[in-house]
Amino acid sequence: MVLAGEGRATCDGHSSTLSRGDILIVPPGLEHVVENSGSDKLYCLKTMMPDGAFAALIRNGIPMTLTDEDCRVLEGSLGATR
């Protein structure tokens, strides 16, 4: 689900543009790529089932601090608070 920004998704030879509120559903086993096509950050909420080791990839990634912009997008899209 796109929370903010603009992007392009490619899966199984098909491409689609993505913008705020769009949802991309990819069947298990199909490789997909989501790229930022806009001038601002692209924020996506991603859920994978089965996770295909995605959770381990994220846990082993480089920790980053959320910027004020990041917090505004999350608060506005999800109703979250810091």
> What is the DSSP code (8-state) at residue 16?
E
Q: Which domain holds residue 17?
A: 2-78
Q: How many domains does the chain have?
A: 1
pLDDT digits (tens, 9 = 90+) for 38-71: 999 999 998 888 777 888 888 899 999 999 999 9
pLDDT digits (tens, 9 = 90+) for 7-20: 999 998 999 999 99
Our CA dihedral for 39, 37, 16, 51, rounded to 10 degrees, sits at: -100
Q: Provide the token pair at 63.
A: 């920790």
